[in-house]
Amino acid sequence: MQLKKASILIVDDDSDVLTAVRLLLKTQAAEVVTEKNPENIPALIKTYNFDIILLDMNFKSAVHTGNEGLFWLNKIKSIKMDACVIMITAYGDIGLAVRALKEGASDFIVKPWHNEKLIETVKETLLKKEKKGTATSSKETGTSSDLVGDSEAMASVFHKIRKIAPTDANILILGENGTGKDLIAKAIHESSLRANKPFVKVDVGALTDNLFESELFGHKKGAFTDAREDRAGRFEAAEGGTIFLDEIGNISLQQQAKLLSVLQNRQVIRLGSNTPIPIDIRLICATNTPLHELANENRFRKDLIYRINTVEIMVPPLRNRDGDLEQLANFFLNKYCEKYSKPSLSFSENALNKLNSYPFPGNVRELQYTIERAVIMADDSLINDDGLVFSALESAPAYTEEVQSDTKLSSLEKNTILRVIEKHQGNITRAAKELGLTRTALYRRLSKYDI
């Protein structure tokens, strides 16, 4: 959460302190409430949803414990366990403030304070609260810690995860590239009764017909030229757990027939063998192909759709996740600051405006890579708007007159592929990664356009 959106309560029996802190924070925060009498704290925190409470350690009140701050800290925590409390203490009471930290305070500031230090302490406490809230939300919803969001659209997804995870129902996850379908699949597994068993992911869209059976169902020694030993397939590897078939919409009709047989019979037969092997798996599939396109029987078997689609989850694109963008941006900011051993970074207001005004056609994945680049290139503690560079791939059509003049989707795709391959000097692996495709999928497109 940004300080400008925060609601803050300041409790101190010194009017001068209240005035000074209120004047300092009123232009920084959304709401600043001051209170002289600590006896009013319970009523205030039951009435308002404060993000931060600044609490003095000593009061001239009816409470005479010698450490009134600790008394009121514990009172606050008894009413609202997750309340973030910053203690205000004199230099001589630092030992008492340290004790307050042990009893649940988030931080403390020492009188007299430097304004910049006070603001920084509040910001850091808000950031810690956000990270803790993300972790708690992940645990409650059964989501991966990388699955972040409080929007109404994501609340619907989390609700479905809670409902379907404990069952063995087959799940079909739909959504655009970059929306986090793999994280949803993992979250379902982690919240299921199979959580302590394997989670096996297979990018089936990248498997050729020759590899499909061997990779999924296994093979016996000598079944084909390179089969030098018996090998279990991915279905056997997922025994008792979950198998996640990504890019299911890209497999051929022949592959679909083989997969359907395995799902109906709940057994696999390794290549080169006639012996069926029973399997106990939970199936989750994902595709970026719209369901109405999958329903075309020239492309996908309807009987297989029904088999894999007991329940479907539609993952919303980032543009439809109102309010999630800044939370995600800060999540990735913290993640990459830690990864690259960078000091604590934050976004300027101009940077946040730039993020909020960009449509992110590449969804959360594009946002993630944008923030990672910004962290790597940052020279100071503030990331400004010029430090945010969006993907040339996603914005390429806006920069090229040739592309703008040609509105055919196939031409747009072909021109984009050519541009990215040229950018990477013919390196197919790097080009495929930037395009969000597997090498096999990119080769298919190269063949399709005679490139």
Dump pLDDT digits (tens) for 9-38: 999 988 889 999 999 998 888 899 999 999
Q: Which class in CATH covers the domain with range 3-138?
A: alpha beta
Mean pLDDT confidence for 235-254: 93
Mean of the per-residue pLDDT values of the chain: 84
Evaluate whether 49 touches 79 at the Cβ level (below 8 Å): no
Tally of CB atoms within 10 A around 334: 19
Q: Compute the distance between CA of residue 372 and CA of residue 359 in angstroms, rounded to an integer.
A: 18
The DSSP element (H or E) to which 156 belongs, if any, is helix 152-164
pLDDT at 169: 93
Q: What is the structure's pLDDT at 149? A: 86
Residue-wise pLDDT tens digits, 381-432: 899 999 999 877 764 433 333 334 344 556 677 777 887 887 777 778 888 7
- CA separation for the pair 60, 249 (Å, rounded): 70
Asked if residue 340 lies in contact with residue 354, where contact means CB atoms within 8 angstroms, the answer is no
What are the sequence ranges of the domains in the chain?
3-138, 149-314, 318-390, 394-448
Percent of all residues in the chain with a pLDDT value above 90, rounded to a whole number: 41
Sequence-distant (6+) residues with CB within 8 A of 276 are 265, 267, 268, 269
- pTM comes to 0.58
Contact 14, 55 (CB under 8 A): no
- The third-level CATH classification (topology) of the domain covering 149-314 is Rossmann fold (3.40.50)
User: What's the whole-number mean pLDDT along residues 164-173?
Assistant: 93
Q: How does residue 348 score in pLDDT terms, banded at 50, 70 and 90?
A: very high
Residue 139: pLDDT band by 50, 70, 90 thresholds?
A: very low
Query: What pLDDT was estimated at residue 231?
Result: 86
Which structure tokens are listed for 245? Answer: 């078939």
Dump pLDDT digits (tens) for 246-286.
999 999 999 999 999 999 999 999 989 999 999 999 999 99
Q: Say what the pLDDT of residue 400 is.
A: 36
Which one is predicted more confidently, 328 or 59? 328
Give the model's confidence band at 146: pLDDT under 50 very low, under 70 low, under 90 confident, else very high: low
Under the banding of pLDDT at 50, 70 and 90, the label for residue 144 is low
Q: What CATH topology corresponds to 394-448?
A: Arc Repressor Mutant, subunit A (1.10.10)
Which pLDDT score is estimated for 429?
80
Q: What are the tens digits of pLDDT across the range 304-326?
A: 999 999 999 999 999 999 889 99
* Count of other CB atoms within 10 angstroms of residue 394: 19
pLDDT band per the 50, 70, 90 thresholds, residue 141: very low
pLDDT of residue 394: 62
Three-class DSSP category at 124:
helix
pLDDT at 137: 47
pLDDT at 107 over 90: no
* pLDDT on residue 240: 93
Element (H, E) at 212: helix 209-217
Cis peptide before 316 (omega within 30 of 0): no
Q: Does domain 318-390 have CATH number 1.10.540.10?
A: no
Q: How confident is the model at residue 230 (pLDDT cuts 50, 70, 90)?
A: confident
pLDDT of residue 406: 41
Which percentage of the chain shows pLDDT scores above 70? Answer: 89
HSE (side-chain half, CA atoms, 13 Å) at 437: 20
| Fold match flag (318-390 vs 394-448) | no
pLDDT surpassing 80 at residue 151? yes
Distance in angstroms (rounded) separating the CA atoms of residues 133 and 449: 48
